[in-house]
Amino acid sequence: MADATATISLSAEEKAVITALEKLNVIQLNTVVKFMEQEYGISAAAPVAAAAAAPAGAAGGAEAEEKAAFNVELTDSGAQKIAVIKVIREITGLPLGDAKALVDSAPKMVKEDVAKAEAEEMKKKLETAGAKVTLK
């Protein structure tokens, strides 16, 4: 991680660009930023600020859409425990005894920090087998 107090040296050309940007009003600067994002595929958003803002917005619905990793929790094993155990073994790679113990001890976390698409796929498989699953 870069030191926030480090001094950055600019060339004469870079200083000229900064001087020109400083002369723009907010609307003009916004237009320049949007153009650079579109033309060069870069973002002016600070990644650290976005990551820091996520915990603060945990109560909002927008945070759930931006969430990158999910925890897959088995909330109820349902009536078809054997089918659920098979899916748990497929998802986790656990031996039969451990998979059965996990299913019997529901509610229980199946996997943590899983990508959204993978978590939804796991949820679909488990629900098809008769289990109830929540993504957190």
Per DSSP, helices labelled H in the chain are: 12-22, 26-40, 47-56, 61-66, 81-92, 96-104, 116-128
Task: Pick 67-135's CATH classification: 2.70.210.12, 3.30.1390.10, 1.10.580.10, 3.30.499.10.
Answer: 3.30.1390.10
Q: What is the pLDDT of residue 50?
A: 46
pLDDT computed for residue 41 by the predictor: 78
Q: Which residues pair with 69 in a beta bridge?
A: 115
* Pairwise CA distance, residues 105 & 97, whole Å: 12
Sorted by where each begins, the domain ranges of the chain are 12-61, 67-135
Name the nearest CA neighbour of 130 among 86, 90, 78: 78
Longest C-alpha distance within the chain, in Å?
73
pLDDT of 64 reads: 46
Confidence at residue 49, expressed as pLDDT on a 0 to 100 scale: 46
- pLDDT value of residue 29: 79
List, run by run, the mean pLDDT of 10-residue segments along the chain (136 residues): 69 89 83 82 59 50 63 87 90 87 87 85 89 88
- Give residue 65's pLDDT: 53
Give the DSSP letter of residue 78: -
